[in-house]
Structure 1
Amino acid sequence: MELSPLDPVTPQLAKAVGSVPEPDSVPGGLSFEPKWDGFRAIVYFDGENVEIGSRGSKMLTRYFPELTDAFSRLLPGPCVLDGEIVVPQGAEGSQKLDWEALTARIHPAASRIALLAKSTPAMFVAFDLLSSGDDVLLDAPFSERRERLEALIGALPHPIHLTRTTTDVALARQWLVEFEGAGLDGVVAKPLLQPYAPGKRVMLKVKHHRTADVVLTGYRVHKSGNGVGSLLLGLYNGDGVLVNVGGASAFSNARRLELVDELAPLVRRDADGEIVAAETERSRFSGSKDVSFVPLEPSRVVEVQYDQMEGMRFRHTVQFARWRPDREATSCTFDQLDRPIAYDLDGVLV
């Protein structure tokens, strides 16, 4: 069996758990490693040519010429690597991952790609080895794959890195707290005896979970045309301006319909009784996507669960927790948010 970008491997996945698990919770024990917040990537190197596949098997090769060049020059032989593409930003001694800079790398113009490859170069953090030379390692336990990965790339220079691992659960729990300050996303636990399982959730992931009280500013209609698809959320900045910080979704069909009636008194209308037209700001990812929404009077407060912030916005879609009728909307400011203590990215890398 040969692993090839013509028949891409689907990366194995992780299921979320509430806390870092004990090593003896699975037969053979667990290996812990940082959870990198970037683009999942399967790197195919046949000794001459490089292809980089995404989690969904879309080829990312053209967007990261500096990495394809590095793989061609530095990898000692044919191999298939599983890892993460990330973009570090900041001065030496205070670097962290920059998600916005990473997403900006996906651009249709070749000239822009070349410019960004120099101004915001990416690096690759490897955490699994799927083949080496003629050996396909999918059926090998993770302990063996990790040992061979260390031997293959452990001594390679930047921009190719090897993620660190530990079997010490206390250290893994320390990483969960400290490494967030460098822009990482949590901790992953891998069964040491587990073969590689494409597309299956055999790993465990622990992410940061926090709550915040935010202002409900509007809602988008569900793609079916019926009910509320997502709630739009805001926080007040230091100048008293209500800033869009993201959205909450994942409601049941019944709840989507209930929310339309529940929020009807808050819908903003003009003098003729018509709903005020409103759109969220477009981005390069919006394309022709409908960005219209139903604006609401900013008077209702909702408590949400979130994992982390990216600038002035929630990094991912947040989860609705409960209404907070005891809170005034104007009291919902950025000051309430829990910001991680800064941690230099160099302290995370091996």
Structure 2
Amino acid sequence: MKPALAQPVAALPRGEGLAYEPKFDGHRILLFKIDGSAVLQARSGRIVTTAFPDLAEAALALPDGTVVDGEAVVWTGGRTDFAAVQRRAAATAARARLLARRLPASYAAFDLLWERGEDLRPAPYERRRGRLSALLAPLGPPLQPVPMTTDPRLAETWFETLPEAGIEGLVVKHLAGPYRSGARDWRKLRHTELRDAAVTGFTGPPGRPAALVLVLPDDDTPVVSGPLPPALRARAGQLLSGRTAEHPEGAPRTARAIGLGEVPYRAVEPGLLAEVMRGTTRHTVVTVHRLRDDLINQV
């Protein structure tokens, strides 16, 4: 199932019939409970159930025929930790349970698509939100609905204060709007277009990578950055030394590069972040501004 998407905006939308939610930078996951089993699907369609055994176990408390949309997040030091959640998402089945104990995940749910076999996607968001809250309230953590308000003044307060907790913006939805898979009906407002992205690989020589392969918040499909400037190439070579990871099946990995299509790359162990800027056009290059070696996850 394709998730609904959001279009970036430069100012807070206002008007009648709008709802505002904090924007969590985690790992977008559709959570299915079907025939007594839980299945977790990433935005790309990849099944990530084994990577998040703690969330899969919690999802067993949901009624059969239920599908929830939300973000898997990891909290460290009172802030959301994007590097940590990407480490969780990339874990092998053998390592996933260890990481689940060290870096427990929470599920920030923001929409209910099916409940007990009933398709709620055509229903207005306001109704879906009410049923989501009623469904999750008896369960508690780690499955919890994100906060929501219809008051733009409170939304502004969230926008100004929540970045201290690692929450970098807002998502705005129409109370009367249906859930349209793949459509950009929602709006998202961020403080800056500079984002932290997870480094998952590189192209070029190991000592001086030509470009980085990145996973951006909300999208687990790897993309190739624009060419690195000379200083960043040298620093990337230092930080990525000894972090290369072999594909379990020996096949080369590929990622999408603007203007080139799919290109092969060398994978690296998760844990390093890069601060990047991505434009808002359909075909846009991701530019690396700096490497977040201050946030390397050592777990």
In the alignment, what sits opposite 2:80? 97
Distance in 1 (CA, whole Å) between partners of 2:211 and 2:193 is 27
The answer to whether the 8 Å contact 1:33/1:164 transfers is yes
Task: Give the alignment partner of residue 22 of structure 1, picking from 8, 14, 17.
Answer: 14
Query: Given the alignment of the two structures, is residue 133 of structure 1 paired with residue 125 of structure 2, yes or no?
Result: no
Match of 2:189, SS state, is strand
Distance, in Å, in 2 between the alignment partners of 1:14 and 1:53 is 18
**Aligned residue for 1:144?**
127
C-alpha spacing 1:109/1:119, structure 2 compared with 1 (3 Å): same
Letter in 2 for 1:196: Y
Q: Secondary structure at the match of 1:87?
A: strand
Cα distance between partner residues in 2 of 1:152 and 1:44: 14
RMSD: 3.3
* 3-state SS in 1 of match to 2:89: coil
State the TM-score, normalized to the length of structure 1: 0.60
Matches within 5 A, 1:228-243: 229-232=226-229
Question: Secondary structure of 1:20's partner?
Answer: coil
Q: Which whole-Å deviations, capped at 9, do the CAs of 1:46-88 have from their partners, x for residues lacking one? A: 251000111111101010111111111x324531101110111
Give the aligned partner of residue 69 of structure 2.
82
Q: Which residue is 1:173 aligned to?
A: 156
Q: How does 1:112-127 map to 2 (within 5 A)?
A: 112-127=95-110
Cα distance change on mapping 1:233 and 1:179 into 2, 3 Å? farther
Q: 1:142 and 1:219, CA in 2 relative to 1: closer, same or farther beyond 3 A?
A: same
Distance in 1, matches of 2:133 and 2:142, equals 16
Q: Is the 8 A contact 1:186 1:208 kept in 2?
A: yes
Quick one: which amino acid aligns to residue 187 of structure 2?
Answer: L
Q: Deviations over 1:215-254 (max 9, x none)?
A: xxx994899xxxx94343869xxxxxx995x9xxxxxxxx
- Which residue identity is paired with 1:203? W
SS at match of 1:105: helix
TM-score, normalisation: structure 2: 0.70
Q: What is the CA distance between 1:117 and its match in structure 2?
A: 1.1
* 8 Å contact from structure 1 (residues 219, 229) kept in 2: no
1:11 aligned onto 2:3: yes
Match among 200, 203, 206 for residue 189 of structure 2: 206
Distance 1:231 1:51 in 2: 38
Q: Please list every run of 5 or more consecutive structure 2 residues that lacks an aligned counterpart in the other structure.
A: 195-207, 214-224, 253-263, 280-288, 292-299
Q: What SS does the aligned partner of 2:108 have? A: strand
Q: Residues 22 and 53 of structure 1: is their aligned pair in 2 closer, same or farther, counting only changes over 3 Å?
A: same
Residue 182, structure 1, aligned to residue 179, structure 2: no
Shift of 1:290: 4.5
Instruction: Give distance in 2, aligned partners of 1:137 and 1:12.
Output: 13
1:329 matched residue in structure 2 = none
| Offset, 1:178 | 1.1
Distance in 2 of aligned mates of 1:173 and 1:144: 24
Residue equivalent to 2:284: none
CA contact (8 A) 2:113 2:119 kept: yes
Bigger Cα Rg: 1
Q: Quick one: distance in 2 between partners of 1:33 and 1:195?
A: 16
Q: Hey, what's the Cα distance between the residues in 1 that align with 2:143 and 2:8?
A: 27
Report whether the alignment pairs 1:316 with 2:276.
Answer: yes
Percent identical = 32
Query: How many pairs are equivalent?
Result: 238
Shift of 1:20: 1.1
Structure 1 counterpart of 2:57, one-letter code: D
Residue of structure 2 in register with 1:238 after alignment: none
| Alpha-carbon distance in 2 for matches of 1:65, 1:156 | 17
What CA distance in whole angstroms lies between the structure 1 residues aligned with 2:245 and 2:15? Answer: 41
Counterpart in 2 of 1:281? Answer: 240
Secondary structure class of the residue paired with 1:201: coil
AA aligned opposite 2:69: D
Indicate the SS of the match to 1:62: helix
* Higher normalized strand content (fraction of residues): 2
Identify the residue that residue 39 of structure 1 maps to in structure 2.
Answer: 27
